Amino acid sequence: MTKPNLLITTDVVDPASIRGLSKYGKVFSTTALDEPALNQLLPSIDILLVFFWPSFLTPENLSRMSNLRLIQSILAGVNHIPFAQLYKKVVVCSNAGAYSDEVAEYAWALLHSWIWRHRVRCSANW
């Protein structure tokens, strides 16, 4: 079985992670490709790693990516991905849960703040 072609479309992936991914597939980065090279490469890409949806992935370019099987979003949400333009076989994964602890802490802080503000309001000390 041949290793899949992975296209990283963001510059936030560190070199150590790229080296780690290289064990499992042939890794390409849009930061190292010019437009002609990228256009030639797109039909052979199996996996996309995205942060925000890249502007070069137009509906026309997506339609040329017949090998695309997986999109991994670094973000917790995937509402920036144009699902209607993807082939049905493409699996989209997110980073859901990555910020769960931080969101829970923020919710508790808001609740704590609300209790304090409620007491101040009830005492009419402003």
pLDDT in tens, 18-52: 999 999 999 999 999 999 999 999 999 999 999 99
- Write down the pLDDT at residue 76: 80
**Mind listing the pLDDT tens digit for each residue in 55-82?**
999 999 999 999 999 999 998 888 889 9
Q: What is the pLDDT of residue 38?
A: 95
**β 47-50/70-73 pair status:** parallel
pLDDT for residue 104? 85
Contact 50, 30 (CB under 8 A): no
Q: What is the pLDDT of residue 126?
A: 64
What tens digit of pLDDT does each residue of 79-126 get?
889 999 998 999 999 887 767 788 889 888 998 888 888 888 888 876
Q: What is the pLDDT of residue 35?
A: 93
- Taking the domains of the chain in order of start, what are their residue ranges? 5-95, 101-126
Alpha-carbon gap, residue 41 to 65, rounded angstroms:
9
Per-residue model confidence (pLDDT) at position 114? 87
Tokens, residue 97: 């849960």
The CATH number fitting domain 5-95, selected from 3.40.50.360, 3.40.50.720, 3.40.190.290, 3.40.30.10: 3.40.50.720
Q: What is the DSSP letter of 72?
A: E
What is the model's pLDDT at position 119?
83
